[in-house]
């Protein structure tokens, strides 16, 4: 019997399990172990929200769980009498329900030779010998496996850089922006300082708005750039052949700008150009020398994120209304220090264009983004894997070192045939590796690889 253990039962791990069951065919007996705390099974961080105002940032007809059936999610909505058009941006909680139900249906119809175990537990260590792997759980149980897949998902953000770090002990500093409990601790009239201006920060603003928050909200980042707004209906033909031979960021940028100009002449716009790049992003990224990747990260990644990770129009309308009303302010600069005063308020100091600025806030929400340097991650499992030299960070410290197909690379540079990863941990290898279009493709390919690998 082949035994495959998936550590992480959020959206990524669940989708991999679904693909394994569907791809099992009539082969040898298969045991799939999916390890995750039950409350997040099938959802993870992204789809655990229970509200209707946190929306997917991809239209429903492109969110199907399978790359060859993009409309599957929209058909699921229609079959359950949800009144959404194909191009609607749907509440994320419904996508979590969709994945859980899809898994339940797949589990129910699984072939007799496939066993699936859902383990409400935490993996804390991995032991390897010449024959098999052992996954040690917090409860003390041991799970034996031929293949292990690390499907971590998102970790809490790193603390912001500050001259004084004592503010992190305050009960009004919130490191985990995805916890609904933080909004119970923020008073209605509190002034809130949000570090970050991306999609997670927009989610925080929407959560505060939903609770009829009356205090001021400050969104802060180095550039002060909000996500661009989705405008549907714009397409542009692939121009990957123009990009394929290029290995310098400046040359890539010139070519993309040239095609944006062409798109504008053809009644399209930059969104169509960006979307046409989506299927080729990983190949373009892998073709770049490390120095060029670092240059992109330093100079252009923020602009990429603005253009690539766009927000639904409804969200943009609320943000704009709050800005017009003066409740929401977008600030930019370099964060210098966050200190807690005698009145327990936060004194925030930042510089902009060489000028020092200060503001006072009653609460601070960290929306910097998931920690990607695995050496800094507070996880017993991750620490133990590093201690055994079974994993290593990629050279950009954006995730784990791995082959593009998910096989992890240990500290000695050896490619593992037993430990794999998928999703966010592959960002340094593939660049685009956090959204459903990429994850569903990875899950499908990795399932075949795991089953065919002996």
Predicted pLDDT at 39:
65
Instruction: State yes or no: pLDDT of 296 exceeds 70.
Output: yes
Predicted pLDDT at 438:
94
Q: How far is CA 44 from CA 40, 83, 92, 104, in A?
A: 5, 25, 11, 16
pLDDT digits (tens, 9 = 90+) for 168-199: 999 999 999 988 889 999 999 999 999 999 99
User: pTM (2 decimals)?
Assistant: 0.94
Predicted pLDDT at 453:
67
Instruction: State yes or no: pLDDT of 288 exceeds 60.
Output: yes
Query: Pseudo-torsion of CA 71, 77, 78, 81, nearest 10°?
Result: 180
Q: Which of 178, 158, 200 is nearest to 373 (CA)?
A: 158
User: Is residue 447 within 8 Å of 20, Cβ to Cβ?
Assistant: yes
pLDDT digits (tens, 9 = 90+) for 125-154: 999 988 889 999 999 999 999 999 999 988
Decide: helix, strand or coil at residue 111. coil
pLDDT digits (tens, 9 = 90+) for 389-427: 999 999 999 999 999 999 999 999 999 999 999 999 999
Predicted pLDDT at 38:
67
Predicted pLDDT at 48:
74
Radius of gyration, alpha carbons of the chain: 23
Tokens of 420: 């794999």
pLDDT digits (tens, 9 = 90+) for 55-103: 999 999 999 999 999 999 999 999 999 999 999 999 999 999 999 999 9
Share of the chain above pLDDT 90, in %: 90
Predicted pLDDT at 27:
76
For the chain, the distance separating the N- and C-terminal CA atoms, rounded to the nearest angstrom, is: 11
pLDDT digits (tens, 9 = 90+) for 340-361: 988 889 999 999 998 999 999 9
- Residue matched to tokens 């890539």: 252
Q: Which residues contact 254 (CB under 8 A, 6 or more apart)?
A: none
Residue range 259-276: mean pLDDT, rounded: 96
Parallel/antiparallel/unpaired status of strands 346-352 and 334-340: antiparallel
User: Between residues 334 and 25, which one has the greater pLDDT?
Assistant: 334
Predicted pLDDT at 31:
97
User: Is residue 6 within 8 Å of 32, Cβ to Cβ?
Assistant: yes
């Amino acid at each position: 019997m082949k035994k495959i253990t998936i550590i992480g039962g959020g959206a990524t791990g669940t989708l991999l399990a679904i693909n394994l069951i569907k791809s099992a065919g009539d082969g040898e007996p298969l045991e799939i172990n999916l390890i995750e705390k039950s409350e997040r099974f099938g959802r993870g961080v992204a789809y655990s929200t229970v509200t209707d105002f946190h929306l997917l940032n991809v239209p429903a007809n492109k969110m199907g769980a399978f790359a060859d059936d993009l409309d599957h999610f929209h058909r699921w909505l229609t079959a359950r009498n949800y009144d959404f058009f194909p191009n609607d941006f749907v509440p994320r909680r419904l996508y979590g329900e969709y994945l859980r139900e899809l898994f339940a249906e797949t589990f129910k119809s699984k072939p007799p030779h496939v066993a699936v175990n859902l383990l409400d537990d935490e993996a804390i260590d991995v032991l390897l010998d010449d024959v098999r792997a052992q996954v040690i759980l917090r409860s003390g149980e041991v799970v034996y496996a031929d293949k292990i897949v690390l499907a971590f998902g998102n970790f809490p953000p790193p603390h912001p850089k500050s001259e004084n770090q004592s503010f992190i002990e305050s009960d009004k500093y919130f490191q985990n922006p995805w916890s609904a409990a933080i909004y119970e601790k923020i008073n209605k009239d509190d002034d809130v300082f949000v570090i970050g201006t991306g999609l997670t920060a927009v989610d925080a603003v929407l959560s505060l708005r939903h609770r009829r928050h009356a205090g001021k909200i400050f969104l802060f980042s180095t550039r002060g750039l909000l996500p661009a707004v989705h405008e549907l209906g714009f397409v542009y033909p692939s121009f990957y052949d123009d990009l394929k031979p290029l290995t310098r960021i400046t040359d890539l940028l010139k070519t993309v700008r040239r095609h944006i100009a062409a798109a504008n002449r053809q009644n399209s716009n930059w969104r169509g150009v960006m979307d046409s790049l989506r299927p080729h992003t990983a190949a373009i990224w892998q073709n770049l020398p490390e120095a060029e990747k670092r240059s992109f990260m330093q100079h252009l990644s923020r602009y990429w994120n603005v253009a690539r990770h766009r927000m639904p129009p409804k969200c943009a309308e609320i943000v704009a209304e709050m800005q017009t009303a003066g409740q929401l302010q977008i600030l930019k600069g370099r964060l210098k220090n966050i200190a807690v005063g005698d009145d327990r308020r936060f004194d925030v100091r930042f510089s902009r264009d060489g000028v020092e600025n200060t503001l006072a806030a009653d609460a601070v929400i960290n929306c910097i983004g998931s920690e990607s340097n695995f050496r800094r991650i507070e996880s017993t499992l991750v620490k133990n894997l590093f201690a055994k030299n079974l994993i290593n960070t990629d050279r950009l410290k954006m995730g784990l070192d791995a082959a593009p197909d998910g096989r992890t690379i240990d500290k000695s540079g050896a490619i593992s045939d037993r430990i794999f990863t998928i999703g966010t941990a592959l960002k340094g290898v593939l660049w685009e590796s956090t959204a459903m279009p990429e994850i569903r493709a990875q899950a499908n390919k990795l399932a075949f690889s795991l089953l065919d690998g002996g």
